[in-house]
Structure 1
Amino acid sequence: MKTWYSICALDEGAEISIYDEIGAYGVSAKAFLADLGKLPDAAPLTLRLNSPGGSVFDAVAIYNTLKRHAGNVTVTIDGIAASAASYIAMAGDEIIMPENAFLMIHDPSGLVMGTAADMRSMAEALDKVGASLIKGYAAKSGKAEDEIAKLMAAETWFDASEAIDMGLADTLAAPVKMAARFDMSGFRNTPEAIVATMKAKADPVTVEPEPAPKPAVGSKAGPEPDPATIRTEAMAYAKTVVDLCRLAGQPQMAAGFLEAETSLEDVRKALIDARAAADPDISATHPQPGPAPQAKPWGDVIARTFKRKG
């Protein structure tokens, strides 16, 4: 299964890379923490970040584990540490930012579907997580929690110099070429420099592949697939699968679907069947208004929420 992180052993310690959306592809922080737990307690760690964020709950778990690690933790932001990724960065004993890197903090957000009680429960959870984030940023920067809270509410982006001045980073490094492109449309105040880079047709750090051999006489060769397009489609597929599973109340099924590369149509069918099996049929003894259970209303919800294109 594809994952959003890698951990490589070094002669002394290990290097961890988070170069994607945290919690993507159905891989949670549980797997990350299990791999991290295999390292010696006192091993020095180098964490390289280039991430638009992701699951804030996973990020808090990763931050807490890195803070408990006995060895020195050095964080280098290789481009972007936004949202949940910026909180993970705060676990570093030293945070290094190249001149053209960015760090962003904002209030946590979440998605819930259900009753008013469900939504109040989510709001309470986000308030608790937000308070935890504020304490983490304040502890690193030395700034007052009220000041941090205002910056988070405004979705504040810092370049390297600003982050260092704010106390959210320690060391300025030479500029780097951004190593990945992300969909930044979900953020309000993304700097134009990042938007332009993300929209660039060519990946600045991708080495041009050698020309493919010419096809044999009489054979047909289609156009070479665009790596950026493949990546975008893969990310969209993974996000849709995870969202569908969460919506259906079956988040544990996402990993299996992604590993098997199950079509979205089959994902929908499997989730509808799983939901139907999980919901007891009480209509015989307690008639319910509306359509019969065979109508499988969750199927309607999923279909309306994630309409197929084309």
Structure 2
Amino acid sequence: MKNWYSICALNEGAEISIYDEIGAYGVSAKAFLADLGKLPDKAPLTLRLNSPGGSVFDAVAIYNALQRHAGNVTVSIDGIAASAASYIAMAGDEIIMPENAFLMIHDPSGMVMGTAADMRAMAEALDKIGGSLLRGYAAKSGKAEKDIAQLMAKETWLDAAEALEMGFADTMSEPVKMAASFDVSRFRNTPPEIVEAVKAKDEPVAVKPEPEARLEPDTSSGDETDPEPDPAVIRAEAMTYAKTVVDLCRLAGQPQMAAGFLNSEASLEDIRQALIDARAADDPDISSTHPQPGPAPQAKPWGDVIACTFKRKG
């Protein structure tokens, strides 16, 4: 099952990556929060972001969870943190942006079908959500809420230098290669250079050929041999691999699978994919046999429209 986030255990703490649309592929913040809850309360976390946004409700839940986390949270905006993703970034104790990264904030948006009362209810909901987001941006930046409101209303894109100057970031690092698989042209004020950078990510990069190696005369005596591997180094590498495998299985709620992975000496990438597949298989579809919360089929669908819309427009 494809996912929009990953959580990898480190020797100390964990690294969380959100590299896609938040709330996509039917995976909600509920799964993210369950995985986050398995980490030690004081574990230091590194959150890496490269996302166009997504579900604003999921983003608020993730922001609140990271704010409650007792350990230090370092956020690295590896490419773009737009819309709902920029709000999650505000939960960081330190926010790092490469020189060519971007952050975007705007008012939440949505769609509704129905009566005038339905329209007014939607407008009230958007105002409340916008107010919550505004307070989070203001708390991190130190700027007045009225100033944040103006930035959100006009959909503001900030590069690293601008974000640093305005208090939305703490540190600017060296530029990185843009890597994104999402469409940022759907936003109304996306700078053209960002659209072009995302489009160009799949273009082949010209690689300068290495000069041909020159053969030198063999002046060795023929008695030299490769050094013997250091047993201590081999043991340390094996222990690190084993600990990582066990931690991954524990985080995925599949500790019983660790022994099989260790016996087969599977790669960490294969292990992560196997754990994702195992978890997907363990999640039963109960919708057909158990009533689910929400409006009845004959009810007005505007609540469902809001939920779906925010997954696309957050």
- Verify same fold: TM over 0.5: yes
Please state how far the C-alpha of 1:186 moved relative to its aligned partner. 1.8
1:1-310 correspondence runs (5 A) = 1-200=1-200, 202=202, 278-279=297-298
> Match of 1:228?
none
Instruction: Report the CA distance shift for 1:201/1:39 in structure 2 as closer, same or farther (over 3 A).
Output: closer
Q: Distance in 2 between matches of 1:203 and 1:137?
A: 35
Please state how far the C-alpha of 1:47 moved relative to its aligned partner. 0.1
Number of equivalenced pairs = 212
Please state how far the C-alpha of 1:279 moved relative to its aligned partner. 3.6
Instruction: Report the CA distance shift for 1:26/1:114 in structure 2 as closer, same or farther (over 3 A).
Output: farther
Please state how far the C-alpha of 1:118 moved relative to its aligned partner. 2.5
Please state how far the C-alpha of 1:111 moved relative to its aligned partner. 2.1
RMSD of aligned Cα (Å): 2.1
Further displaced range: 152-161 or 23-32: 23-32
Q: Deviations over 1:85-129 (max 9, x none)?
A: 000000000000000000000000112223332222221111111
Please state how far the C-alpha of 1:193 moved relative to its aligned partner. 1.6
Instruction: Report the CA distance shift for 1:4/1:150 in structure 2 as closer, same or farther (over 3 A).
Output: same
Per chain length, whose mean CA-contact separation is higher, i.e. which structure has more relative contact order (CA < 8 Å, sep 6+)? 2
Contact in 2 for aligned 1:180/1:203 (Cα 8 Å):
no
Q: Distance in 2 between matches of 1:203 and 1:141?
A: 37
Q: Give 5+ residue unaligned stretches, structure 1.
A: 208-258, 261-276, 281-310
2:61 aligned partner, one-letter code: A
Q: Distance in 1 between matches of 2:56 and 2:174?
A: 29
Q: Equivalent pairs: percent with the same residue?
A: 82
Q: What TM-score do you get using the length of structure 1 for normalisation?
A: 0.65
Instruction: Report the CA distance shift for 1:62/1:181 in structure 2 as closer, same or farther (over 3 A).
Output: same
Q: Deviations over 1:51-82 (max 9, x none)?
A: 00011111011101100100000000000000
Q: Deviations over 1:245-268 (max 9, x none)?
A: xxxxxxxxxxxxxx89xxxxxxxx
Please state how far the C-alpha of 1:187 moved relative to its aligned partner. 0.7
SS in 2 for 1:60: helix
2:77 aligned partner, one-letter code: I
> Match of 1:242?
none
SS in 2 for 1:176: coil
SS in 2 for 1:200: helix
SS in 2 for 1:80: strand
Q: Distance in 2 between matches of 1:80 and 1:200?
A: 15
Q: Deviations over 1:225-249 (max 9, x none)?
A: xxxxxxxxxxxxxxxxxxxxxxxxx
Please state how far the C-alpha of 1:204 moved relative to its aligned partner. 7.3
2:145 aligned partner, one-letter code: E
Further displaced range: 114-123 or 70-79: 114-123
Q: Distance in 1 between matches of 2:121 and 2:160?
A: 37
SS in 2 for 1:198: helix
Please state how far the C-alpha of 1:201 moved relative to its aligned partner. 6.2
Please state how far the C-alpha of 1:200 moved relative to its aligned partner. 1.9
Q: Deviations over 1:188-226 (max 9, x none)?
A: 111122111122262679x9xxxxxxxxxxxxxxxxxxx
Larger radius of gyration: 2
Q: Distance in 2 between matches of 1:188 and 1:279?
A: 35
Please state how far the C-alpha of 1:28 moved relative to its aligned partner. 0.9
SS in 2 for 1:113: coil
Q: Distance in 2 between matches of 1:90 and 1:31?
A: 21
Q: What TM-score do you get using the length of structure 2 for normalisation?
A: 0.64
Instruction: Report the CA distance shift for 1:131/1:279 in structure 2 as closer, same or farther (over 3 A).
Output: closer
1:139 aligned partner, one-letter code: A
